[in-house]
Amino acid sequence: MATEIKYDAVISDIDGVVYKEDVPIWENIEGLKLLQSRGVEISFLTNNASTDKEELTKRLTGIGINIDESKITTSGEAAAYYIEKNYGKAKVYVIGERGLIKELRKRGIEIVSDDEIADFVVIGLDRSVNYEKLSNAVKKIMEGAKIIVTNMDRLWPSSKGFKIGAGALAKAITYSTGKEPEVVVGKPEKWILNLAINKLRKRNYVLIIGDQLETDIALGVRNGLDTLLVLTGISNVEDASKSIYKPKYINRNILEFLGSGARI
């Protein structure tokens, strides 16, 4: 059934919506391009901190989505902004990849090595993490460093199936230390939504598009925004039937959503 609301902006996830790892999901890409052609403002909000905004902009424009870097929000950016806003300069030990490190350094935050004291341990997706690195993070926390987590995603959708997410790494560290994060900055927390919303020119009717009930859909439901669950990533119809977070729309992909009679 067609909605009577005309959305003037879309906040879309990336992993599981635009890509599965490096493989484009063309039905969603073409749908986002169609939305742009109809005058809908498109922005992206991702929990994946492994890639920085500059690189994401190049990847998205390379597949035909005309997007400015200012319309992309990552959990790495949110973590860096949180530290700067609340603490100013700080020394940080990172479980994460170059995208997270780059966003932290943009804000003047110092990245420390294994044998240096840290004010914070920032945890994101890290596909090269090992036992020693996790143990070093635990040591720094036991010495007084606070924990900041980019997101608590259990899984992320790769081109070869599901892989563990940043949340799994965070759980290993919090279990070992007995200490909880000071903050989780990524979806479904409102902190990161506020960053993304403030970048929009048009904010009256916003639709959130994502593939995960626990993050994308929960973010919208908690904050009174309509949501579209696309079945190209993590969550499926059965998951949705059991979840407390009910998407307004469920479609196989964005093109199907646009063809279903939804008024955009």
pLDDT per position as a tens digit, 11-23: 999 999 999 988 9
Domains defined along the chain, listed by start = 9-44+206-259 (3.40.50.1000), 75-184 (3.40.50.1000)
Contact by Cβ (8 Å): 136, 162: no
CB contact at 8 A, 48 and 75: yes
Helix, strand, coil content of the chain in percent (nearest 5):
40, 20, 40
CA distances from 221 to 22, 208, 215, 243, 247 (A): 29, 10, 10, 12, 8
Catalytic one of 8, 13, 22, 114? 13
Give pLDDT tens digits for 15-53: 999 999 889 999 999 999 999 999 999 999 999 999 999
Please say if the pLDDT value at position 3 is more than 50.
no
* pLDDT exceeds cutoff 60 at 138: yes
Catalytic annotation, pick one of 15, 52, 153, 216: 15
The residue type at 64: G
For 75-119, write each residue's pLDDT tens digit: 999 999 999 999 998 999 999 999 999 999 999 999 999 999 999
Residue 13 among the catalytic residues: yes
The whole-number average pLDDT for the span 179-195 is: 95
pTM comes to 0.91
Radius of gyration from C-alpha coordinates of the chain:
18
Which of 208, 148, 155 lies closest to 173, judged by CA? Answer: 148
Phi and psi, residue 146, nearest 5°: -90, 155
Structure tokens at 248: 């307004």
The answer to whether the CB of 73 falls within 8 A of the CB of 40 is no
Q: Is 211 a catalytic residue?
A: no
Residue 148 and residue 152: Cα distance in Å, rounded? 11
